[in-house]
């Protein structure tokens, strides 16, 4: 039994004899792809770009030293951008978006318990939303939905959540430092009053020592109050955590499905598949 083999001449002859079958299968593939592409729901894409701010702008020295102000860049490093991405990619962030825009109802999963539906909505949103770090050191956020307004709203809300969380971390640190200083001020004032009350019962030598101690406490109180006021001011004037270069706006037209690309790909795939079937059938006959 001869081992059948294919060559260009035989393949060309086979195609010439069966071109109608190839054409029919290819046209059917294109027709199915055309119908499918028009039945698929339209999806709109919104995009935003942002860059991280320099966290050193939150240093209290920036406001109180003219020599230091010029040393700080307004823009952060790659590590600062990674910090923003890390917060944006938290499950808690996605849950906030799911709850705010009622994505459980929007995605229409079924009748599972609410916790399961909420988890499915988070996973679906993760598929539809991407965080991309560009070569220019920017964060590009892309969101796909069937509602052009919703895509833009989700991205802008996400940026607001991340920005608020970062600024709250800074303000929390300032508030914590201020609270500790205020506590030290209260304790120092109490100590000063106790020394002052006991001054009458002291001898002359002891009284001098107590007065020196009281003077030291007054100096400490001055420093504590000045530093506490500094942290309070920093909390009230916290710098931006990020800068939005391009906010998300509603898409002008649907970008999915790409009908032309789908039809062309299906047409080519249909022709190749039908040709392979034809060659395989001819090989079996030859063997």
Q: Under a CB-based contact definition with an 8 Å cutoff, are residues 267 and 33 in contact? A: yes
Q: pLDDT by residue (tens digit) across 64-109? A: 555 545 556 666 677 888 889 999 999 999 999 999 999 999 988 8
Q: Per-residue pLDDT tens for 221-256?
A: 999 888 888 888 777 777 778 899 999 999 888 877
Neighbours of 117 (CB within 10 A): 19
Q: Residue 255: give its domain's CATH number.
A: 3.30.1890.10
Find the helix or strand (DSSP H, E) in which 49 lies: strand 44-52
Domain of residue 79: give its range: 27-171+240-265
pLDDT tens digit string along 118-167? Answer: 999 999 999 999 999 988 889 999 999 998 899 999 999 999 999 998 88
Tokens of 136: 């220019």
For residue 186, being part of any structural domain is answered with no
Query: What is the tally of structural domains in the chain?
Result: 1
pLDDT band at 7 (very low <50, low <70, confident <90, very high): low
Is 60's pLDDT higher than 80?
Answer: no
pLDDT for res 57: 63
Q: How far apart are CA 208 and CA 242, in angstroms?
A: 56
Q: Is 276 among the domain residues?
A: no
> Which has the closest alpha carbon to 218: 243, 210, 150?
210
In a domain, 117, yes or no: yes
Task: Specify the pLDDT at position 246.
Answer: 92
Reading the block at residue 9, the tokens are 């001449």
Asked whether the whole model's pTM tops 0.75, one would answer no
Sign of CA dihedral 192, 195, 199, 204: negative
pLDDT of residue 277: 83
Whether residue 212 is predicted with pLDDT greater than 50 in this model: the reply is: yes
**Quick check: 2 pLDDT over 50?**
no
Quote the pLDDT of residue 274. Answer: 84
Does residue 229 belong to any structural domain of this protein?
no
Q: Is residue 154 part of a domain?
A: yes
Instruction: Note whether residue 270 is domain-resident.
Output: no
- Helix (H) or strand (E) segment spanning residue 167: helix 148-198
In-domain check, residue 16: no
Lowest mean pLDDT, pick from 8-17, 114-123, 204-213, 246-255:
8-17
- pLDDT computed for residue 94 by the predictor: 95
Q: Over 80: is that where the pLDDT of 5 sits?
A: no
Question: Is 278 among the domain residues?
Answer: no
């Amino acid at each position: 039994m001869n081992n059948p083999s294919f060559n260009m001449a035989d393949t060309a002859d086979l195609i010439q004899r069966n071109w109608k079958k190839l054409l029919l299968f290819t046209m059917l593939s294109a027709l199915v792809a055309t119908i499918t592409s028009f039945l698929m729901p339209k999806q709109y894409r919104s995009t935003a770009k942002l860059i991280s701010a320099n966290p050193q702008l939150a240093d209290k020295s920036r406001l109180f030293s003219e020599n230091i102000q010029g040393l700080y860049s307004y823009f952060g490093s790659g590590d600062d951008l990674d910090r923003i991405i890390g917060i944006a990619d938290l499950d808690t962030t996605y849950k906030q978006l799911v709850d705010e825009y009622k994505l459980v109802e929007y995605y229409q999963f079924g009748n599972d318990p609410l916790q399961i539906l909420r988890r499915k909505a988070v996973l679906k949103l993760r598929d539809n939303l991407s965080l991309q770090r560009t070569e220019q050191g920017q964060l590009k956020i892309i969101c796909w939905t069937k509602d052009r307004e919703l895509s833009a709203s989700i991205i802008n809300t996400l940026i607001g959540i991340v920005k608020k969380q970062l600024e709250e971390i800074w303000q929390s640190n300032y508030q914590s430092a201020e609270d500790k200083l205020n506590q030290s001020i209260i304790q120092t004032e109490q100590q000063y009053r106790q020394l002052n009350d006991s001054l009458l019962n002291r001898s002359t030598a002891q009284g001098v020592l107590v007065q020196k101690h009281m003077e030291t406490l007054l100096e400490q109180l001055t420093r504590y109050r000045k530093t506490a006021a500094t942290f309070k001011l920093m909390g009230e004037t916290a710098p931006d955590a990020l800068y939005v270069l391009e906010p998300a706006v509603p898409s002008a037209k649907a970008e999915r499905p790409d009908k032309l690309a789908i039809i062309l790909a299906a047409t080519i795939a249909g022709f190749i598949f039908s040709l392979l079937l034809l060659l395989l059938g001819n090989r079996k006959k030859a063997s």
